[in-house]
Structure 1
Amino acid sequence: MLAGVALASIAIARTGDRIGRRRWYTALFLVMGFAGAAFALTDETWLLVLAALTGTVSTEVVESGPFTSLEQAMLPSAARAVDPTRLFGTYNTVATLAGSLGALAAGLVAVLDVEPQRLLLAYAVVAVAGAILTLGLSDAVESVAGSRRAPLQRSRGIVRRLSGLFALDSFGGGFVTQAFIAYWFTETYGTTPETLGVVFFALGLLQSVSFQVAVRLAGRFGLLNTMVFTHLPSNLLLALIPFAPTQLAAFALLLTRSALSQMDVPTRQAYVVGIVDPEERTAAAAYTNTARYVTRPLGPLVAAPILAVSLGAPFVIGGALKSAYDLALYAAFKRRPPRWTDQSAE
């Protein structure tokens, strides 16, 4: 799946504007339909591998592969009169809430007398519906100049630096995946799956609210300041979790951290497409997102042997790496505001 996401994202970075954002978007939904049908209807390994390599199968609700790269580029173009940060805040809120509904729908396995695998047909149905909806997108989502130019021009260096920094942040996040957090609570406090389910559902709700709070903070303090100065405290809270004296205190730290940690998502997405020229948005979004996708799985690989030494160490290491990212990002880009005022005419 990771290889597919990376390959599809790079293909979009290089050809997204030349082929057309809408065409790519429609094609992704159609391929997603094939992938969903394959996972629902067959056990043939080669076919499942082919479906995974399409890059349209993702375990993430927010920032889900090549779709996100295209959407990140199209949103500011399609609604130029709307504050881009507000667009991304609403976009991520809807995605998170929809993902929560999808998680609840997984409970249908216990109600319906069907094989769990067959429920993946819903993935294919949603994909076909998405493909139909893309036909209604206007020309506003396209990049006019991008089809005649290389994907990246004067922003090549900026995108490289951002990609490196985002890779560091994502690598740090790989130390503290949801699976690891669940494992840690189970091993440390004997927390039941039912309790963890409630806590993780609460985390999703807090994240949905935090996207809207981030929009308001960005309007007052700026995108970069909101990204860094909400993310940095959340990383410190993350590092404190293994030192919590009780399960309740650990949950409190986790929930507070969650309320802050995702505020950088809509602001980061807006900043990436705001700091480059309009015709560079597709490539900038795709390359920076690819850097995140590729490095995140490395975190668990490095964390695994560390668990034998200290069960709580990944919290501290992850928090430290992500804090280093925040400080480096601020130092490198504090004097680079978005170019929105220069991008009003696309």
Structure 2
Amino acid sequence: MMTELCAAKSFDAIGSPLRLLLAARALRDFGDGFVAVLLPVYLTRLGFSPFEIGAMAATALAGSAVLTLAIGFLGVRHDHRRLLLAAAGLMAATGFTLSIFDAYAILLVIAFVGSVNPSGGSASSFVPIEHAVLTRETPDQDRTRMFARYSLIGGLSGAAGALTAAMPDFLTRIGLSELTAIKAMFLLYAALGLFGAVLYARMPRRPPAAQHASKAALGPSRAIVYKLAALFSLDAFAGGFVVQSLLALWLFSRFDMSLSAASIFFFCSGVLSAFSFPVAARVSKRFGLVNTMVFTHLPSSLCLILAAFAPSLTITLALLLVRAALSQMDVPTRSSYVMAVVTEPERTAAASFTSVPRSLAASVSPALAGALFSFSWQASPLIICGALKIAYDVLLLEQFRELKPPEEN
């Protein structure tokens, strides 16, 4: 008991750069939370088809992958603070342009070059840099718990953002049109990007050490990173069939859910996911990072498949909430594992190179899911997602159960 108390005390002594980073993450995920729910509503009101909405989500994820890849190369040679400021500026510009334009071709460009996040999760160019900063500022024994806290703050903020997605319903009652109200939320998203930039600007400059500035982004850990990237891509391709925007679209279509009801559901889903992160950190201390990733993921995938067959909205939402409580427990453990099994100079690149294939793979499946929505049985994306994720879990356990991070040896 005394040992746990001492560990908790030392863990609470978070340095200033980490506090600023966590606060910026909260603002960003709050914005992503309401944009992921509002985006399909906005595009539907503009008259776009499910396939076009899926293609928009795919374009956004593909753009995120390209930008994240660039960050991976730049992160080993450039000040992390400057890169985070640029990413925050891009978020502000994205929200502002979304509030102005409604032509589909222009929205596709914004989705590709901007920071639109249809998954409502951690698919973002911010992530590789933030992971490197978190790992640099945290001792090995606290790394997984810090990633859990980082994910918890993001999850709760995203849940609060999802709940805020109901705001257009209230704004329409005071005389605004629904489209105008949604565009006002995009302006709020832009403001959150600016506030995030203010927080990043207060972080100290930490240029890369001179001996690392000329090195290749990846070195001795290249084979490990490539193998992890391939497996994570399978997981992301599966998840792309049920990104939050498309799941919202499915619920709207199948059960005729209102925007207010959907925002409450995604809030509850986000809260359950968020509180699973610290649980994952505790479980991983006893059972290991890889085991925690796999054995929490498997039942969540089964719940998703069962939800596709559920006869009523109540049963469907119950299964999806159970899935939410389990499916994201691999997020902090996965991030911690990647940072643990590579060398320090490779961390930004490793985070980027494991994220980029994920984003590229995830950018293909939303368009496929959008096409499947046009078929008579719209639940097929849920079944495909669940089956592919089960295959990923089995492969991950087989390939990496013997490669342990320093704290497990």
- Structure 2 runs not aligned, ≥5 long: 1-59
When normalised by structure 2's length, the TM-score is 0.74
Q: Point out the more displaced range, 170-179 or 223-232.
A: 170-179
Counterpart for residue 275 of structure 1:
341
Counterpart for residue 30 of structure 1:
89
Counterpart for residue 319 of structure 2:
253
2:390 equivalent among 316, 323, 328: 323
Cα displacement (A) at 1:232: 1.1
CA contact (8 A) 2:123 2:355 kept: no
CA contact (8 A) 2:148 2:332 kept: yes
| 2:308 matches 1:242 | yes
Cα displacement (A) at 1:336: 0.9
Cα displacement (A) at 1:335: 1.0
Q: 1:102 to 1:237 in 2, by over 3 A?
A: closer
Cα displacement (A) at 1:226: 0.5
1:117-128 equivalence runs, <5 A: 117-128=183-194
CA contact (8 A) 1:61 1:95 kept: no
| 2:145 matches 1:86 | yes
Q: 1:8 to 1:190 in 2, by over 3 A?
A: closer
Q: Point out the more displaced range, 278-287 or 121-130.
A: 121-130
CA contact (8 A) 2:163 2:267 kept: no
1:301 equivalent among 362, 367, 377: 367
Cα displacement (A) at 1:210: 0.8
Aligned residue pair count: 342
When normalised by structure 1's length, the TM-score is 0.87
CA contact (8 A) 1:203 1:255 kept: yes
Q: Deviations over 1:142-199 (max 9, x none)?
A: 5665323110001111111111111111111122333544455556556555544332
Counterpart for residue 280 of structure 2:
214
CA contact (8 A) 1:77 1:141 kept: no
2:368 aligned partner, one-letter code: V
CA contact (8 A) 1:211 1:263 kept: yes
1:331 aligned partner, one-letter code: E
Q: Percent identity?
A: 37
Counterparts of 1:341 and 1:279, CA distance in 2: 22
Counterpart for residue 313 of structure 1:
380
Counterparts of 1:247 and 1:152, CA distance in 2: 48
Counterpart for residue 39 of structure 1:
98
Q: 1:167 to 1:335 in 2, by over 3 A?
A: same
RMSD: 2.9
Q: 1:340 to 1:67 in 2, by over 3 A?
A: farther
Counterparts of 1:50 and 1:249, CA distance in 2: 39
CA contact (8 A) 2:166 2:263 kept: no
Q: Deviations over 1:268-317 (max 9, x none)?
A: 11111111111111111111111111111322333455553644333322
1:318 aligned partner, one-letter code: C
Counterpart for residue 10 of structure 1:
69
Counterpart for residue 333 of structure 1:
400
1:56 equivalent among 103, 106, 115: 115
Q: 1:241 to 1:340 in 2, by over 3 A?
A: same
CA contact (8 A) 1:170 1:292 kept: yes
Counterpart for residue 298 of structure 2:
232
Counterparts of 2:265 and 2:364, CA distance in 1: 26
Counterpart for residue 26 of structure 2:
none
CA contact (8 A) 1:144 1:279 kept: no
Cα displacement (A) at 1:326: 0.6
- Structure 1 runs not aligned, ≥5 long: none
Q: Point out the more displaced range, 74-83 or 289-298.
A: 74-83
CA contact (8 A) 1:29 1:131 kept: yes
Counterpart for residue 20 of structure 1:
79
1:210 aligned partner, one-letter code: S
CA contact (8 A) 2:78 2:207 kept: no
| 2:210 matches 1:160 | no
1:157 aligned partner, one-letter code: A
